[in-house]
Each structure stands twice: as structure tokens, then as C-alpha cells.
Amino acid sequence: MKSIIIASTSTLHGSSYLKYLLPTLQLHFKNIKSILFIPYARPGGISHNEYTQKVAQAFAQINISVKGIDEYENAEKAIHDAEGIFTGGGNTFLLVTQLYKHNIMQTLSTAVKNGIPYLGTSAGSNICGLSMQTTNDMPIVYPPSFQTLGLIPFNLNPHYLDADAQSQHMGETREMRIKEFHAFNNTPVLGLREGSWLEVKGETITLKGTLSARLFQQNQDPKELNPESDLSNLK
């Protein structure tokens, strides 16, 4: 049975890394002593080791140890043997490229679908959808495919921002960019605001946190979904 936390962000403004999620993660990774961390997205270009150490410090607060996937000789075996898995944020193009480079996109998808508890934040959440095409990230590298894990039957836009009527910025809003996506694709897109996450238990998908999420579907007006909304039938 799938057991997944898909969070918009790892860090809320004015708080430390993962702090707002730690109570949820303590339950999510209950009875797990160690998790496998996938640092490929490398926010700001930090090293895999630096990123892994940052994650380890956060998880130490709930008595869970962390080991980076690049510390293993065989990435595929590391996923198979993992008690739990966390894929962190950063650049989604880089993350997807590395998952394909190491031939573990399908391996990771299968492992999570078979029940290994998974946490994704930001880029690590983007890859939970059907494709990475609704990411906000710059295409700094060229992945062999936009197809991702397919753990949920729609796409995500983490860090979703509402249009600011007072802003002097004249470029595209997030809503406009998602509409551009829907000019060519019919996959639903969920805009996840900061501090919100999805909880996936088996085939049940529930919006968590205190904020609403914004749902975009092709040829329909956007909808606001309240916390605890069930997205299980969204396709």
C-alpha cells in the first residue's frame, strides 16, 4: 500500500529545515530507523554530501538516521533495501536527469507503489506526478524524458503563488503558466501553497495543512480545495 507525503516545501519562512513537518514525519516513518535520501536536485548547487548532512540534522530530531543514495555502490539495490525514502527539493530538471542517468526512475516508482514510505518536497514532490512539466524550475539540464514517477494521477505545481494585484511584475503568473500547459495537455494540475502537503495512503489522496490548494483542469475555471479534501478520484 502506498504511503507518501508530498509537500510543497521543506522550509517555511522563519523556520528551520523540515521543522513544520516533523510531527507528521514522525508518524509517517513510524518504526523506521533509517531513511535513504536522494540529493540529486541539489538546491543552489550544493554538494550531495552537504545536502545529506542537512537532512540528517533534521531527521536526528525524530531519531531517524539518514544515508545518501550516492554513498551506495548500487543505487537500485539501495532503493530496494530502503526502509523509507526522501527525495529533496532543488532543480527538477537536474533531479529527473539524474534519476534516468542512474536508471532508477522506474525502480523508485515501483518501490513506492509497493509500500516503501516516501517523502518528497518541492522537486521531490514534482516527480510524484505524471510528468515534471508543471515545475517552476529553470531547464539547466536536458532530461531524456519529462515522464516521472506517476504515484498520483495528476501533476503538481509546488510553491504555488497567487497573483499579487499590487505587484509591478508584468510577466506571467503561475495561473497563466498552468493555462499554457493546458493548451497542449489535459492532465489536471494541483497548485500546492507553502505549508501544504498531500497524504497518500493506498489509493486515497488527502490535502493536508491549513491552506486551500488551487486545482486547474483543462477548459475549466480553477477551483479552491479546502484542507482535508479528497483528491482520490482526480484524473
| CA 85 distance to own-chain centroid | 12
What is the structure's pLDDT at 166?
Answer: 67
221: enclosing H helix or E strand: none
Q: Is 122 a catalytic residue?
A: yes
- As a whole number, mean pLDDT of residues 9-30 equals 96
User: Is the whole model's pTM more than 0.75, yes or no?
Assistant: yes
pLDDT for 87 equals: 98
**Cα–Cα distances in Å, from 226 out to 193, 207, 213, 223, 230?**
12, 8, 7, 10, 9
Location of C-alpha cell 521543506:
10
* CA gap 18, 8 in Å, rounded: 11
- Out of 159, 182, 196, 229, which one is annotated catalytic? 159
CA distance 160 to 175: 9
pLDDT tens-place string over residues 183-217 = 999 999 999 999 999 999 999 999 999 999 999 99
Q: Which of 10, 137, 182, 229 is catalytic?
A: 137
CA 131 – CA 108 distance, rounded (Å): 15
Using the 8-state DSSP alphabet, how is residue 137 labeled? Answer: S
Residue 163: pLDDT over 80:
no
The phi, psi pair for 223, rounded to 5°, reads: -125, 145
Q: What are phi and psi of 208, to 5 degrees?
A: -120, 165
Mean pLDDT value of segment 1-21 = 96
69-95 confidence digits (pLDDT tens): 999 999 999 999 999 999 999 999 999
pLDDT at 224: 98
Return d(Cα 194, Cα 127) in angstroms, integer: 17
The pLDDT tens digits of the residues spanning 59-71 come to: 999 999 999 999 9
User: pLDDT at position 172, please?
Assistant: 79
Question: Is 125 a known active-site residue?
Answer: no
Q: Is 159 a catalytic residue?
A: yes
Catalytic residue among 8, 109, 122, 196: 122
User: Which fold, 3-225?
Assistant: Rossmann fold (3.40.50)
